[in-house]
Amino acid sequence: MTDFALSLLDNLELPIAILTDKGEIDYRNLAFAKTFGDDAELWVAKAAKTNVSGERGWLQLLFSARDRSESIEAEFQSRTYRISRVHFDNDDSATKVGLTFDDVTRQREMEQAKSDFTSMIVHDLRGPLSGIQGTLEFVLSSQETRLDPMHEELLLEASRESERMMGLINELLDFSKIESGNFEVERDPVHLAGILRRSVKSLQSVASRDEVHLLTAHGSDLPMIHGSAEKLTQAVINLVSNSVKFTPQKGVIAVGAKLLRGDADNDSIVVTITDTGVGMSPEDLSRIFEKYKQSKSKSVRGGAGTGLGLYIVKQVIEAHGGSVTVSSLQGVGTSMVLKLPLRRVA
């Protein structure tokens, strides 16, 4: 390297080093020497080599041209570094990589604190709310209480609102799990037809109130799939309630499902939720699966959402190995298509 290049590298605050797969440090800039000190010789020797029993050191991932990940994250002297490969050189004698070491400790701590805070809040809100729900349910279903129609209607309204709030809290809980990388779905045998029926049923009264026709139809041969009944129900409810929100009076929402035969073991179930609502512009369409994204088209019923619904739906379906696609025309309607792979349940 020229003196100019060397001095340039030494003036950077970012630690940079060139390491060989034999575990040697070929070059280090000043920031690298300052950050890792003399210890560096030792851990590089270990991390960059493959040992006698064939075990790869953790840095080896960055030495293989085939490995696609060109950056890794590692804990080191109780700090977290994002180590990125900025140069790769493979000649006969050795493989050399140029690496930068970004200290991302603070960033990771902030993210962790944020997600811990959200889960804490969410847990602490769920407890009292289910207490309220239980109480309302008890009063409404008890034989002893004789309510006059007005009070009964008020309590029913309180019960519906607390259900809505529980939905929001659950959405936030899923969101914080997704953000912290802890989102997983169960893999129980579930009946999709039942899930569709239950989801549609739970929205039937809202749809009738808004004078929207809500229909469901599915093939009689739908097999079971592996998944989480709770999360899939939540995803379908989310999509159907979007349709209800964005479909004017006398509109139609159709929920359907059918078995799609693929080659070999590639069968899947396709679920479609189609509405005759306000639709979306191509520009909005490309962004609605992102978090907090809402299109400019206003809900025909008011009631602002969080813009997390579709983001979570996508994560839920992808966690089941499936995919979500959407097509929409402004003023005509929207169609959401879920494709869920079928690993047959014996």
Ligand X SMILES: Nc1ncnc2c1ncn2[C@@H]1O[C@H](COP(=O)(O)OP(=O)(O)OP(=O)(O)O)[C@@H](O)[C@H]1O
Q: Does 277 bind Mg ion (CB under 5 A)?
A: no
Q: How far is the CB of 175 from ligand X (least distance, A)?
A: 9
The tokens describing 141, both together, are 């279903």
CA distances from 81 to 76, 108, 121 (A): 7, 10, 30
Of 151 and 298, CB closest to Mg ion: 298
Number of chain residues interacting with Mg ion (CB under 5 A):
3
Between 279 and 322, name the residue whose CB sits nearer to ligand X.
Answer: 279
Centre a 10 Å sphere on the Cβ of residue 201 and count the other Cβ atoms it contains. 11
Binding at 334: pick from Mg ion, ligand X, none (beta carbon under 5-8 Å per type): ligand X
Amino acid at 50: T
Closest separation between CB of residue 305 and Mg ion, Å? 5
Q: Which of residues 83-142 bind Mg ion (CB under 5 A)?
A: none
Which helix H or strand E contains 124, and what residues bound it? Answer: helix 105-141
- Exposure of 53 in the CB half-sphere (CA atoms within 13 A): 2
By beta-carbon proximity to ligand X, the closer residue of 71 and 323 is 323
CB nearer to Mg ion: give 264 or 304: 304
Q: Which is nearer to Mg ion, 310 or 342 (CB)?
A: 310
Residue 295 interface partner, choices Mg ion, ligand X, none, CB cut-off 5-8 Å depending on type: ligand X
Residue 72: burial class (beta carbons within 10 Å; 0-12, 13-18, 19+): middle
- Rounded to the nearest whole angstrom, what is the least distance from the CB of residue 329 to ligand X in the complex? 10
Cβ pair 322, 339 in contact under 8 A? yes
- Pick one of 35, 176, 199, 242: the residue that binds Mg ion (CB under 5 A): 242
Q: How far are the Cα atoms of 53, 60, 95 from residue 63, in angstroms, in the given order?
A: 18, 5, 7
Binding site for ligand X (CB under 6 A): 238, 242-243, 246, 275, 277-280, 288, 293-295, 297, 305-311, 334
153's tokens: 């209607």
Q: Let me know: does 81 contact 102? Beta carbons within 8 Å.
A: yes
**Considering only 143-151, 169-177, 240-248, 338-346, which stretch makes contact with Mg ion by CB under 5 A?**
240-248
Q: Applying CB under 5 A, which part among 18-26, 92-100, 258-266, 301-309 lies near Mg ion?
A: 301-309
